[in-house]
């Protein structure tokens, strides 16, 4: 009788683990799907940086971002940064989080970025503005600073 109870308990635990895995896999797929649009914004950002199309970059930023800085200041900061780090070589997403801030879903993406002279870790915070994601926070950590 004890063996049957233990076997039954083992089967219950085993089936529970499978359900947890299914739940986690579905949740991971949902998170990855919800990151497609924000990561495409950052892909476009790096594409424009690589091609020195600074005049196109400001369209990727939120109106909230420009409450603290002008478009010209952003472009000047980026040009100065690139003069120190060199040409963009590659970028890779290393971490992604979905946060809830003041009732809004905020996507936080962390990238490792290689330039010809230095590398950096760049953190982008994005939120949905109207119908598309926009950058409202951009923090760069590099040994050039």
- Tally the C-alpha atoms within 13 A of residue 99's C-alpha that lie toward its C-beta: 13
- For 36-142, the fitting CATH number among 3.30.365.10, 3.40.50.170, 3.90.79.10, 3.10.450.100 is 3.10.450.100
Is the confidence at residue 8, as pLDDT, over 50?
Answer: no
DSSP 19: H
The confidence band for 62, taking pLDDT boundaries of 50, 70 and 90, is very high
Number of residues that make up the chain: 145
3-state helix vs strand vs coil in the chain, percent to 5: 50, 35, 15
Q: Is 86 left (phi over 0), alpha (psi -120 to 50) or beta?
A: left
Nearest one of 114, 113, 130, 131 to 122, comparing CA atoms: 113
The confidence band for 144, taking pLDDT boundaries of 50, 70 and 90, is confident
pLDDT, tens digit (0-9, with 9 covering 90-100), for 71-110: 999 999 999 999 999 999 999 999 999 998 888 899 999 9
pLDDT, tens digit (0-9, with 9 covering 90-100), for 20-61: 444 444 444 444 457 999 999 999 999 999 999 999 999 999
């Amino acid at each position: 009788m004890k063996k049957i109870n233990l076997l039954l308990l083992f089967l219950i635990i085993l089936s529970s683990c499978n359900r947890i895995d299914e739940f986690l896999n579905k949740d991971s797929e949902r998170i990855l799907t919800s990151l497609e649009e924000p990561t495409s914004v950052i892909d476009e950002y790096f594409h424009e940086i690589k091609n020195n199309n600074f005049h196109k970059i400001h369209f990727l930023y939120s109106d909230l971002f420009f409450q603290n800085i002008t478009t010209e200041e952003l472009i000047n900061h980026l040009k100065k940064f690139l003069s120190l780090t060199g040409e963009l070589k590659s970028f890779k997403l290393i971490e992604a989080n979905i946060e809830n801030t003041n009732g809004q879903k905020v996507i936080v993406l962390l990238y490792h970025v290689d330039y010809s002279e230095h590398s950096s870790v760049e953190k982008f915070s994005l939120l949905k503005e109207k119908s598309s994601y926009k950058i409202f926070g951009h923090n760069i950590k590099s040994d050039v600073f």
